Amino acid sequence: MAFVLAQTESYSWPVTVEFPIDGGRFEKQSFDAVFKRLPQTRIREIWDLIQAGELNDDELCAEVLTGWKGIQDAKGEEVRFSEKAKADLLNVPLVAAAVVTAWLESLAKGKRKN
């Protein structure tokens, strides 16, 4: 397949959050985040800010999280993406860190096949 210089503005990537539950165990819950595709120069800037401790998870999520699929409310109905819904999601403990981890994993080079 030939390389295409023009890329889409966003892409979907799985996010898994591990919530602590009774008995010292964890329950995994997942959804698909839609991440904004950033230019390499901005990715480098973000990495430098993370290393310097000048960018927190919420700030990074505000920039890169632009949608989702697979998030439901307590009644089992799909939660539509909005800025308020995003703020509510990121206020749930462990979620922002999981989103950042998924975003960073999406940028990491995949495993090479032998």
Q: What percent of the chain has pLDDT over 90?
A: 87
Length of the chain: 114
> Over the stretch 49-106, which tens digit does the pLDDT of each residue have?
999 999 999 999 999 999 999 999 999 999 999 999 999 999 999 999 999 999 999 9
Give the pTM: 0.89
Pairing relationship of beta strands 10-21 and 65-69 according to DSSP bridges: unpaired
Closest C-alpha to 11, from 33, 39, 27: 33
Supply the pLDDT for residue 3: 83
Which residue type is seen at 2?
Answer: A
Quote the Cα angle for 63-35-85, to 5°.
70
* String of DSSP letters for 70-107: S-B-TTSPBPPP-HHHHHHHHTSTTHHHHHHHHHHHHH
